[in-house]
Amino acid sequence: MKCPECNNELNKTEVEIEDAQTPALSYQCSNCDYYNFEPESTIKVINELKKKESPLKIKQKIIKLSQDRLGMYFNQDIVKSLNLRSGEEIFVSVPDNKKIVLEIG
């Protein structure tokens, strides 16, 4: 691949990106300061980072425990990702009327 600016041969370099396993490929010109990322590898890295950022969101039903007490199960994905154990204490807070925040003590 040639530099679009000066027609010099471009150097292909792998660029490690924090939090991404796939390195992005970049093309650098040793003659001028032309520098570009290979679009395909850039997209891969962006997708990989997006996946990591998206929080675990699972739809679950509130179940009736006893009398007017309600409860919820933690499914395996949640248990595994947070390493929850039975008997563990958590703090429950309600920041607004659409959210319940559970904080592991």
Contact stretch for Zn ion (CB under 5 A) within 24-32, 36-44, 47-55, 67-75: 24-32
Contact stretch for Zn ion (CB under 5 A) within 21-29, 68-76, 80-88, 91-99: 21-29
Size of the site for Zn ion (CB under 5 A): 8
Check residue 13 for interaction with Zn ion (CB under 5 A). Answer: no
Contact stretch for Zn ion (CB under 5 A) within 15-23, 28-36, 69-77, 84-92: 28-36
**Beta carbon nearer to Zn ion, 3 or 45:** 3
Pairing of strands 35-37, 63-66: unpaired
CB of 16 to Zn ion, least distance (A): 24
- The single residue listed with the structure tokens 């792998």 is 14
**Beta carbon nearer to Zn ion, 32 or 100:** 32
Q: DSSP secondary structure string, 23-85?
A: PEEEEEESSS--EEE-HHHHHHHHHHHHHHHSPP------EEEETTEEE-PPPHHHHHHHT--
Torsion sign across C-alpha atoms 44, 46, 48, 51: negative
